[in-house]
Amino acid sequence: MHIAYLINQYPKVSHSFIRREILALERQGIRVQRLALRGWEGDLVDAEDFSERERTRYVLRDGMGGLLKSMAKMALASPARFFSGLKLAFRMSRRSDKSLPYHLIYFAEGCRIAEWLRAEDIAHLHAHFGTNSAEVAMLAAEVGGFRYSLTIHGSEEFDKPEFIGLGEKIRRASFVAGVTSYCRSQLYRAVSHEHWGKIHVVHCGVEPAFHDGAMPALSPRPRFVCVGRLCEQKAQQLLVEAVALLARKGVDVELVLAGDGEMRDEVMAMIAHHKLQDRVRITGWISGEQVRQELLEARALVMASFAEGLPVVIMEAMSLRRPVLTTWITGIPELVREGESGWLYPPGSVDELAVAMERCLATPDDELLRMGERARVRVLERHDSDREAGKMVTLFRQAEQNSMVESAAGGMAEAYR
């Protein structure tokens, strides 16, 4: 079976979970053509991402000239489908938070993809995320006459479902995968009950190569690590404030912020304001192996997020037998259990965050190791990369079979006319 995957930007430091999913699909015999709108010049750190870049076709690499050529070809090859897709782009713009020109560009990108997939005889396109890449996939499928499906992570899609036409994207898709039960419930809200059957839960996975051989020994240092983009929804400012609060109480504590992002300057200013340069360190973007090492050298993973889907780094930390301290939002409580594999606290509360960190630091090593072992068992039961990829393979094959049945039924109906 030959399919295509579409991502807005690929490869990307924060999208390693997509790479893992693609590689797991290929281990199960699925041929995957990587497509991305952009990403051919992005900063990378993992050797696997450099390899993925070489295997990816980029829609915007040839600029507007390439898009216009594809539009002309598709208009000549399938005029009825071309104008149906153009009409759909106009309809998607009506309630959108983006003006019509954006949707016309999405349509042009869809024509480019439709041309490529027809040339390679690919009948199924899968898109990650429900925002602009999902619209491009939907328009490509309309122009090209093939199937498409989506993986939705949240939480961005749930901030403005009507403005991104989420319901339309779901209704037209062969199937939709939500990464948590919470995510699935929010997708249910976007469409009527008749479409609920096409919405499934497929978790992001962790690979054995990441966690195999991980030693359960804890670092003697009172260190926490937070992994993720430095941005408003991750709320690293609260982590700095919590460390400052604990330091004023005389608690020995360290924090590593593994990542980078648009709020780095603000976070660094807060670190300087509280005079925490000897307690808080920002690594910048680091490789997957470096993330693994930072987790192993920490007592626990800590996050203060306001909005998430289900962070892959939580799965990674648990697979390495590290407890997790995080907010009780969206799909996180489906994986992290209070008192068993970590601590959950309300988002936005520096006091409750500091209490959880202090409790973790005061927990004896043998109990933390037991929590870490329970965390590992739970995450491997729910987030094995090959098992979750197997769910995707089943969905792709079911979509193919359904399409064949529909085509046969259409042929029979035509014969009886």
Identify the pLDDT of residue 404.
83
Domain check: are 173 and 299 in the same one? no
CB 318 within 8 A of CB 304: no
Helix residue ranges, H only, 173-279? 181-190, 208-211, 236-248, 264-273
pLDDT digit string (tens) for the chain, length 417 residues? 999 999 999 999 888 899 999 999 999 999 999 999 999 998 888 889 999 999 999 999 999 999 999 999 999 999 999 999 999 999 999 999 999 999 999 999 999 999 999 999 999 999 999 999 999 999 999 999 999 999 999 888 999 999 999 999 999 999 999 999 999 999 999 999 999 999 999 999 998 878 887 566 788 899 999 999 999 999 999 999 999 999 999 999 999 999 999 999 999 999 999 999 999 999 999 998 999 999 999 999 999 999 999 999 999 999 999 999 999 999 999 999 999 999 999 999 999 999 999 999 999 999 999 999 999 999 999 999 999 999 999 999 999 999 887 766 555 445 445
Would you give the DSSP letter of residue 28?
T
Q: Could you give phi then psi for residue 347, rounded to 5 degrees?
A: -65, 145
Distance CA 245, CA 130 (A): 39
Domain check: are 229 and 287 in the same one? yes
CB 311 within 8 A of CB 269: no
**What CATH number does residue 142 fall under?**
3.40.50.2000
Half-sphere exposure in the Cβ direction for 109 (13 Å, CA): 26
Domain check: are 231 and 359 in the same one? yes
Domain check: are 352 and 392 in the same one? no
Identify whether 84 is preceded by a cis peptide bond (ω within 30 of 0). Answer: no
Distance CA 347, CA 233 (A): 11
Domain check: are 396 and 347 in the same one? no
Distance CA 357, CA 359 (A): 5
Domain check: are 142 and 217 in the same one? no
Domain check: are 366 and 222 in the same one? yes
Domain check: are 197 and 342 in the same one? no
Task: Record the pTM.
Answer: 0.92
The domain tally of the chain equals 2
Distance CA 308, CA 327 (A): 10
Domain check: are 309 and 295 in the same one? yes
Identify the pLDDT of residue 411.
56
Domain check: are 148 and 282 in the same one? no
Structure tokens that stand for 27 in this block: 């281990």
CB 232 within 8 A of CB 306: yes
Domain check: are 374 and 396 in the same one? no
Domain check: are 346 and 396 in the same one? no
Identify the pLDDT of residue 208.
86
The residue segments making up the domain with residue 228 are 208-382
Q: Give the distance from CA 286 to its chain's centroid.
A: 18
Distance CA 26, CA 233 (A): 33
Q: Other C-beta atoms within 10 Å of 193: how many? A: 7
Q: Is 97 helix (H, G, I), strand (E, B) or coil?
A: coil
